Structure 1
Amino acid sequence: MTPGAADLRARAESASAHLPGLILSAERLAAVVAPGAHGLRRAGPGEDFWQYRPASQGDSARSIDWRRSARSDAQFVRDREAQTAQAVGLWVSAGQGMGYAGAPDRPAKGARAQLLALALGMVLLRGGEKVGLLGQPPRAGRAQAERLAQGLLAAQAGAGDGDAPEAQALRPHQRLVILSDFLTDPDWVAVLLARAASMGVTGVLMQVLDPDEENFPYAGAVDFRSVSGALRHDSRDAAGLRQAYLDRLAARRDWLRDRAQGAGWHFGHHATDHAPAVALGWLHRVLGG
């Protein structure tokens, strides 16, 4: 067996060992969110009210809303909002920085991001939507959840602390969910969102951080190192860096939020010591908004 094949087999076996646990955890998390088809904001077959419009030639008497029409001299039709299955792409950063956990009782950022992505995929699949990892064909059905889990666990960690999704993998009018810590060079975000806007792609940026990265609870002499070892800073007064760090984190979030909103996307953040159900509910809500 060649070294490359041996490495691939080892990674496959490792992913398989964690597969049942990830699926079970995601199923439990997905159970707290009610699935449903997403509206298209146009008239069509569906269950939800969208708007009243003046009746026109071709509307049958059965389509007239007589209660609304009684309040004016005109007749009105009650339109419902079209609903249909949508293709949703998921991408979770495999940068080495996502392997960070500030305490043994907290999950690594990458593990939490994988859990959120898979649970969201399960909720969307229950609602009849097509879901896939970015760059792979989106599919519907129960079996797709296991394919998503396998793909998430089989992803190979990148060489650096951060990575970026391939902008060429975008497909017109899909919805996309990006989960990352967004702590490394964010220039790729602007490139991705510009291409997404040109293709009618909308979605969500979700920043996942460890609480130590949120709060910077360090003091005294601290040797800071990135997970990949590419970055290092030896400080004799870590507490003196706290405010500057928090200011830069806030600026990074403002930048991400502004870029997301400018492209018609949403931006949110989640700390790994918070309940994942809250983040999942938010993701599902804004993805359908």
Structure 2
Amino acid sequence: MNCFMFPGQPLSRGTDLPDDSDFRTIVDMARRRAFFDMEGFSWVGNVATDNVKLQVFGTVMSLYRFRGLRREYSLPEFIAEHSMGIYPALAACGCLAEEEAIEMTFRVGVCLARMGETHSYALGCVVGLCREPLLAIAENHGVFMANYNTSRHFLLSGERSNMEAAMAEALDTGAFSAKTFPCDTPLHTPLIGEIDGELREIFADYRYAEPRTRLMDHINQDCLEGGDLADFLREELQRPVYWEKTYRALRASGVSGFIEVGMGDSLKKYNRWIDGEMSS
């Protein structure tokens, strides 16, 4: 069995963009539904943050990549998603139209970015520490675990000054790497509850079809149904991403082929690490 994996927001834009009819079609959708000019990497008459640009860019590239894969492969037995990869994943499953997935990415991104107008937030990427000492560090500094990617690769989220102190302690505790990245919002933490009502209104604006293949969520590793989606979309922004659990659940379900559908190969790298631990 195969699984298409949709990654979250890329950290940077690509340098070489495709030039074919599929790409031009999706670029036009982004301009009309998200006010985003892909070629210029700029807003069209509407201003949002650079992080929102990357979020829309990530969704566009995943949708484009999915179109190409569907010419090579049948619809896979499973689709998996990591963080904001849920939006193009919904289009791949037929729950939303491509245009709706792009629009949703933009609307959610703009809503989240408003939190950054009053506070300064950051992500912290830690490699090399185990879960337990990192949980203690997060608690010490008032930040939150946001991504459990592998047994030694984690993302934390919270206020920037607290995150910088947490990353310093992580290095002192023996982390191989502990880096801070500025962001608009404390994604995948309870702090997002501050805008829960606004998010609820966004997700209520869409009608969700039943997935045409199994869509595994990154929280409980359940297969989502159409009626679950509005609540899941709101909830997942306030809870961590459990990628290692998701990958292990997919393996246990019989999946042997994994294809990353988007920019980069971060999920493939996590999978290789997890495979190494499973075979040792």
TM value normalised by structure 1:
0.26
Q: Which has the higher contact order (CA 8 A, sep 6+)?
A: 2
Structure having the higher Rg: 1
Structure in which a larger fraction of residues adopt helix: 2
TM value normalised by structure 2:
0.27
